[in-house]
Structure 1
Amino acid sequence: MNTIKKTLAGLLSVGLAITALSACSKNEAATQTPKEQGQEVLDVKFGYIADYNGASLAAIIADQGLWEKNGLNVEAIPFTNGPLQIQALGTGDLDYGYIGNGAMWLPASGQASVIMINAVGEADRVIAQPGINSIKDLKGKKVAIPEGTSGDTIVQRALQEAGMSMDDIEKVAMDASTVVSAFASGQVDAAGIWYPLVDTIKAQVPELVELAKNTDFPDLIAPSAFVAGVDPDKEKTTRVLKALREANDWRADNMDEAVKITAKFTGVDADSMKNDAIHAKYYSSADLDKMTEDGTIEGWLQSMNDANVASGKIEGDPVPPSKFYHGEAFVAAGK
Structure 2
Amino acid sequence: MPPTRRLLIRAAFAAATLISAQAAGADPVTIRIGYAAIGVDNRPFAEGTSAATARAGNFVEDEFKGAPDIKVEWYFFKGAGPAVNEAIANNQLDFAYQGDLPSIIGRANGLKTKLLLASGAHKPTYIASPIDSVVASIKDLKGRKVAVQRGTNGHLSLIKVLEANGLAERDLQILNMDSATANAALAAKEIDAAVGDTGLISLAEKKLAKIVYTTKGDDPRFGRYAHVLVTEAFETAHPDLTQRVTNAFVRAAHWSSEEANRQELLELWGKSGTSTSVLAEFFAGETLKYRNTPLIDELFIDQYRQAAAKSKEFGLLRRDVDFNGWFETKYLDAAIKDLKLEGYWTPYDASGKPRAN
TM-score by length of structure 1 reads 0.75
How far off its partner does 1:185 sit?
Answer: 0.4
Residues 205, 149 of structure 1: alpha-carbon distance in 2 compared, 3 angstrom cutoff: farther
Structure 1 residues not aligned, in runs of 5+: 1-35
Structure 1 residue 146 displacement after superposition: 1.1
Once the two structures are aligned, what percentage of the paired residues are identical? 20
Amino acid at match of 1:89: I
Residue among 210, 213, 219 paired with 1:211:
213
Name stretches of at least 5 consecutive residues in structure 2 with no aligned partner: 1-22, 38-45, 339-357
Structure 1 CA distance for aligned equivalents of residues 211 and 265 of structure 2: 31
Q: 1:183 to 1:206 in 2, by over 3 A?
A: closer
Distance 1:283 1:64, change over 3 A: farther
1-structure distance, mates of 2:247, 2:27: 16
5 Å-filtered alignment, 1:86-97, equals 86-97=85-96
Q: Would the aligned equivalents of 2:150 and 2:176 in 1 still touch at CA under 8 Å?
A: yes
Equivalent residues in 2 for 1:1-335, closer than 5 Å: 42-48=29-35, 49=37, 50-53=46-49, 55-62=52-59, 65-68=62-65, 72-80=70-78, 81-109=80-108, 110-111=110-111, 112-129=113-130, 130-194=133-197, 196-206=198-208, 208-220=210-222, 222-233=224-235, 234-253=239-258, 254-264=261-271, 266-278=272-284, 282-283=288-289, 288=294, 292=297, 295-320=298-323, 322-334=324-336, 335=338
* Alpha-carbon distance in 2 for matches of 1:263, 1:82: 22
Does the CA-based 8 Å contact 2:118-2:226 persist in structure 1? yes
Matched-pair contact (CA < 8 Å) for 1:113–1:326:
yes
Alpha-carbon deviation of 1:182?
0.3
Whether contact under 8 Å (1:221, 1:303) holds in the other structure is: no
In structure 2, what is the equivalent of residue 4 of structure 1?
Answer: none
Change (3 A) 1:274 1:57: farther
* Secondary structure of the corresponding residue to residue 121 of structure 1: coil
Q: How many residues align?
A: 292
How big is the shift at 1:212?
4.5
Deviation, 1:226, is: 0.8
Question: 8 Å contact 1:135–1:159 — kept in the other structure?
Answer: yes
Give the Cα–Cα distance (whole angstroms) in 1 for the partners of residues 93 and 317 of structure 2.
Answer: 24
Mapped partners of 1:301, 1:73: distance in 2: 32
Closer, same or farther: CA 123–220 of 1 in aligned 2, 3 Å: closer
User: What are the superposed Cα offsets for residues 201-254 of structure 1, whole Å, 9 maximum, x if unpaired?
Assistant: 214545624135254333446322112224432233122112112222122222
Q: CA deviation at 1:180?
A: 0.5
- Which moves more between the two structures, 183-192 or 196-205? 196-205
| Cα offsets for 1:239-277 (capped at 9, x unmatched) | 21121122221222223222222323x344333344344
Provide closer, same or farther for how the CA distance between residues 283 and 40 of structure 1 changes in structure 2, counting only shifts above 3 A.
farther
**Amino acid paired to 1:154:** S
User: Partners of 2:287 and 2:95 in 1: how far apart?
Assistant: 22
Aligned alpha-carbon RMSD (Å): 3.1
In the alignment, the residues of structure 1 paired with residue 276 and residue 223 of structure 2 have an alpha-carbon distance, to the nearest angstrom, of 27
- Name the aligned partner's letter for residue 263 of structure 2: D
Contact 1:220 1:303 in 2 (8 A): no
Q: State the Cα distance separating 1:148 from its structure 2 match.
A: 1.6
Deviation for aligned residue 1:325: 1.5
Q: Distance in 1 between matches of 2:60 and 2:126?
A: 31
1:150 and 1:100 mapped to 2: Cα distance? 5
TM-score, normalization by structure 2? 0.71
1:279 Cα deviation after fit: 7.9
What letter matches 1:79 in structure 2?
Answer: F
The structure that has the greater radius of gyration is: 1
Whether contact under 8 Å (1:59, 1:261) holds in the other structure is yes
